[in-house]
Amino acid sequence: MPENARARILARLRDAPARPAGPEPDFAVMARKVHPPADRYPRLRRLMEAVRAEFVETTEAAWPGAVARFAAAEGLRSLAYGRGTAAGARLEAAWPASGPRLVPYDRPFEAWKRDLFEDVDAGFTTTRGGLAETGGLILWPSPEEPRLLSLVPPIHLALLDTTRIHDSLWHAVRAEAWAGRLPPNALLVSGPSKTADIEQTLAYGVHGPKRLVVVALVPA
Amino acid sequence: MTAETGRPDFRRAAARALGDSSLRANFRRAMDGLMARRAAQFADPVEWRDLRALGAAIRARSLARLPELLERLEERCVGNGIAVHWAETAAEANALVLGILRRHGATRVVKGKSMVSEEMHLNDYLEAHGVESLESDLGEYIIQLDHETPSHIIMPAIHKNRGQIARLFGEKIRGAAYTEDVDALTAIARRVLRRKFFEADAGISGVNFAVAETGTLCLVENEGNGRMSTHVPPVHVALMGIEKVVERLEDVPPLYSLLTRSATAQPITTYFNLISGPRGPGEKDGPREVHLVILDNGRSRMLEDRELSSTLRCIRCGACMNHCPVYTRVGGHAYEAVYPGPIGKLVTPQTEGVARRHDLLEASSLCGACGEVCPVGIPIPELLVRLRAEAVAARPEPGVLEAGEGRHRLESAAWRVWRHLCERPGLYRAAGFAATRFGRFLPRWLPGLAAWTRGRATPRPARRTLHELADAEGIPDA
């Protein structure tokens, strides 16, 4: 049945009269959406704060300490992170012995599904950068930094190098040639999970993280 | 036209909806807010013009190359490890989904929002075959609890107010205390659904854009339920209509921008999820299998007509319904169709038949608002007029389902008389004279007049015809 369905659908589409293709797409309107480098981070921050993302500003040298201080101040019991990334190594090296439990996501999900759902207070991930036009972070999960780190724990801490903010998604896709090298899952995240399904009233923290905390690396 | 029992009847359903003041208030409030916020998103008219032209061009090109792009999408998806299935009808698609679930012994499924799954009535089908299929989008979850269908394609529970939702949760969810607080209601749903995500054997989702170039499925959402449904369970089944494919990854950013700004007036949604494969080598999470079901369900028929094929450009933003004076007053359920509002008035008659759903083609004042706000430039009012003509055409075009079958003897006779009059000036003048002198004595029960006067005052013709007035002013006859 399915093989026949495929053949029949494609045959019908090929037999249909030629559709008007219209003009070639003109992407000039996308190319115009540029922002001077100095404006990109303030713009991203303003747009993301409008949808309740939080920002912790720190520097390249000091960020592991800033993350530890945030975790302690919030009274977190545990923070999951990806082992095997440079950022993960920095976090391990700098983590205070008295700090919250630092939990590497180093096993298949199935091996610790219940713990991840019930016992992890926050997940820490890196990002590939951000988007100035709309706000938003670019995440490419990897074997070292799994997909669910940024989704299941109630708080998502995301490390952003503010010098790696693209003008827009269109610019990022082209500049980094995404088409040839997308990982099995790539995503944009612009704030904590939210819904307006009840009377158009915004409510945060519906299924995904209740808080998104951007650990923003600004020049020292 | 024969009257069947249970046949959809927009007039009857609309009259019922118009009498429900709480329903009308719920829609009015929501649509007013959406219109204002969308307008603010497209405040720059030049950007709107150019971006919309780009969106329209991308969608038109995708449709022009549809068979080729679908084959490339399949090839790239398979290369990425995504299994691809094809279904001509909703019944075939349901059987495919059930087959995949059965192979995995899956009995508990969580679903992200998918209008294609509504076309399939997938939840009912799965329940009938022993599979629990739970909607995880908050709006969809609410209406599933109340055994309803979506009243809007983006905000499925927009017809309900918080009091109604509070009562529903209090009745249907064990341990839920009555509350009208939106945050508390949301927290109740989070608690219930987290457990369901955790336990689910499989996840089902729709697809917003499928990229032929890379074999990527794009999902747009705010809640995180889409990511939960596609990444926590071991199997992910994605459903898409054949029209969802675009050629290149570069095509996605403009369409995504048009979609989120038109639909909910957001510059970007909380999550944009690009899925290009199942759990890869060394990956520690993500589904072990990803399946893509490509469904036709009447779409290829729409492509048989050059003009009507632009219906398939639709990116399902819902802006046409948000701006529709008819939709705003009667709500989504009155259409008795999967897709309500202006786009539904195009899709439903083309898939169910123009004669059968002629009622929808008439449910428009042709004010043009839908065509103006459509982010991919679908000429909705023009297509509605075209379908009205097809429904009653004496010599119907081939591609349109039930074309000509809406033809009504009395109606065609009336139009023939009208043409006859208009072609004969003497006769036209005589008829005009008769209408101005005796028109007011026409009985209200006259066919045609009766339908008009049911909800309106009887029209009173002027005492003299326009020709007479012109003559009196000394204006020469043209």
Question: pLDDT digit string (tens) for B180-204?
Answer: 999 999 999 999 999 999 999 999 9
According to the model, what pLDDT value does residue B6 have? 66
According to the model, what pLDDT value does residue B444 have? 76
According to the model, what pLDDT value does residue B439 have? 82
Task: Tell me whether residues A151 and B269 touch, CB distance under 8 A.
Answer: no
Residue from the list A2, A198, A207 with its beta carbon closest to the beta carbon of B86: A2
Select from B181, B192, B213, B270 the residue whose CB has the most chain A CBs within 10 Å, as the one to mutate to test that interface: B270
According to the model, what pLDDT value does residue B446 have? 77
Contacts of A17 in chain B (CB under 8 A): 304-306
pLDDT over threshold 80, residue A167: yes
Q: Report the gap between the CA of B241 and the closest CA in chain A (Å).
A: 12
Q: What is the mean pLDDT of chain A?
A: 96
Contacts of B156 in chain A (CB under 8 A): 197
According to the model, what pLDDT value does residue B3 have? 40
**ipTM summary value:** 0.97
The residues in B 220-249 lying below 8 A from A, measured between CB atoms, are: 222-225, 227-228, 231-232, 242, 248-249
* A153 in B contact zone (CB under 8 Å): no
pLDDT over threshold 70, residue A1: no
According to the model, what pLDDT value does residue B2 have? 37
Select from A48, A114, A181, A206 the residue whose CB has the most chain B CBs within 10 Å, as the one to mutate to test that interface: A206
Convert B253-273 to b/e letters by CB count within 10 Å (16 or more is b).
Answer: bbbbbbbbbbbbbbbbbbbbb
According to the model, what pLDDT value does residue B399 have? 79
Query: How long is chain A?
Result: 220
Q: Report the gap between the CA of A97 and the closest CA in chain B (Å).
A: 27
Task: Tell me whether residues B53 and A26 touch, CB distance under 8 A.
Answer: yes
Percentage with pLDDT > 90 across chain A? 93
Assigned fold of B65-142+196-297: Rossmann fold (3.40.50)
Task: Name which residue leads in pLDDT, A20 or A166.
Answer: A166
Task: Kindly give the pairing relationship between strand A185-189 and strand A137-139.
Answer: antiparallel
What's chain B look like in SS3? CCCCCCCCCHHHHHHHHHCCHHHHHHHHHHHHHHHHHHHHHCCCHHHHHHHHHHHHHHHHHHHHCHHHHHHHHHHHHHHHCEEEEEECCHHHHHHHHHHHHHHCCCCEEEECCCHHHHHHCHHHHHHHCCCEEEECCHHHHHHHHCCCCCCCCCCCCCCCCHHHHHHHHHHHCCCCCCCCCHHHHHHHHHHHHHHHHHHCCEEEECCCEEECCCCEEEEEECCCHHHHHHHCCCEEEEEEEHHHEECCHHHHHHHHHHHHHHHHCCCCCCEEEEECCCCCCCCCCCCCEEEEEEECCCHHHHCCCCCHHHHHHCCCCCHHHHCCHHHHHHCCHHHCCCCCHHHHHHHHHHHHCCCCCHHHHHCCCCCCHHHHHCCCCCCHHHHHHHHHHHHHCCCCCCCCCCCCCCCCHHHHHHHHHHHHHHCCHHHHHHHHHHHHHHHHHCCCCCCCHHHHHCCCCCCCCCCCCHHHHHHHCCCCCC
β-partners of residue B293 are B85, B239
**Domains annotated on chain A, with CATH:** 37-217 (3.40.50.10420)
Q: What is the pLDDT tens value at each position of chain B, 478 positions in all?
A: 334 446 889 999 999 999 999 999 999 999 999 999 999 999 999 999 999 999 999 999 999 999 999 999 999 999 999 999 999 999 999 999 999 999 999 999 999 999 999 999 999 999 999 999 999 999 999 999 999 999 999 999 999 999 999 999 999 999 888 999 999 999 999 999 999 999 999 999 999 999 999 999 999 999 999 999 999 999 999 999 999 999 999 999 999 999 999 999 999 999 999 999 999 999 999 999 999 999 999 999 999 888 999 999 999 999 999 999 999 999 999 999 999 999 999 999 999 999 899 999 999 999 999 999 999 999 999 999 999 999 999 888 777 899 999 888 888 898 999 999 999 999 999 999 998 998 888 887 777 778 788 878 888 888 899 988 998 999 987 5
**Is-contact A81 A124, C-beta < 8 A?**
yes
Residue from the list B231, B248, B251 with its beta carbon closest to the beta carbon of A151: B231
Q: How far lies B96's CA from each of A2, A3, B125, B216, B398, in Å? A: 8, 12, 12, 21, 31
β-partners of residue A130 are A137, A165
Select from A27, A105, A147, A207 the residue whose CB has the most chain B CBs within 10 Å, as the one to mutate to test that interface: A207
β-partners of residue A57 are A216
Q: Report the gap between the CA of A59 and the closest CA in chain B (Å).
A: 26
Contacts of A203 in chain B (CB under 8 A): 182-183, 185-186
Contacts of A200 in chain B (CB under 8 A): 29-30, 33-34, 155, 158
Task: Tell me whether residues B306 and A208 touch, CB distance under 8 A.
Answer: no
Contacts of B183 (CB under 8 A, 6+ apart): A203
Contacts of B450 (CB under 8 A, 6+ apart): B444
Angle at A203 between CA A199 and CA A206, to 5 degrees: 115
pLDDT over threshold 80, residue A19: no
pLDDT, average across residues A172-187: 97
Residue from the list A6, A109, A131 with its beta carbon closest to the beta carbon of B284: A109
Question: pLDDT digit string (tens) for A33-60?
Answer: 999 999 999 999 999 999 999 999 999 9
Task: Tell me whether residues B267 and A27 touch, CB distance under 8 A.
Answer: no
pTM: 0.94
Tell me the domain boundaries of chain B: 29-62+309-407, 65-142+196-297, 411-472
* B158 in A contact zone (CB under 8 Å): yes
pLDDT over threshold 70, residue A88: yes
Q: Report the gap between the CA of B28 and the closest CA in chain A (Å).
A: 11
Task: Name which residue leads in pLDDT, A130 or B448.
Answer: A130
According to the model, what pLDDT value does residue B1 have? 35
Q: Report the gap between the CA of A136 and the closest CA in chain B (Å).
A: 8
Angle at B218 between CA B182 and CA A170, to 5 degrees: 105
According to the model, what pLDDT value does residue A211 have? 98
Count of CA atoms in the C-beta half-sphere (13 A) of B250 = 14
Residue from the list B186, B257, B277 with its beta carbon closest to the beta carbon of A206: B186
Contacts of B154 in chain A (CB under 8 A): none
* B37 in A contact zone (CB under 8 Å): no
Task: Tell me whether residues A136 and B268 touch, CB distance under 8 A.
Answer: yes
Token pair in block for residue A212:
């998104």
According to the model, what pLDDT value does residue A3 have? 63
Task: Tell me whether residues A27 and B268 touch, CB distance under 8 A.
Answer: no
**Is-contact B217 B207, C-beta < 8 A?**
yes
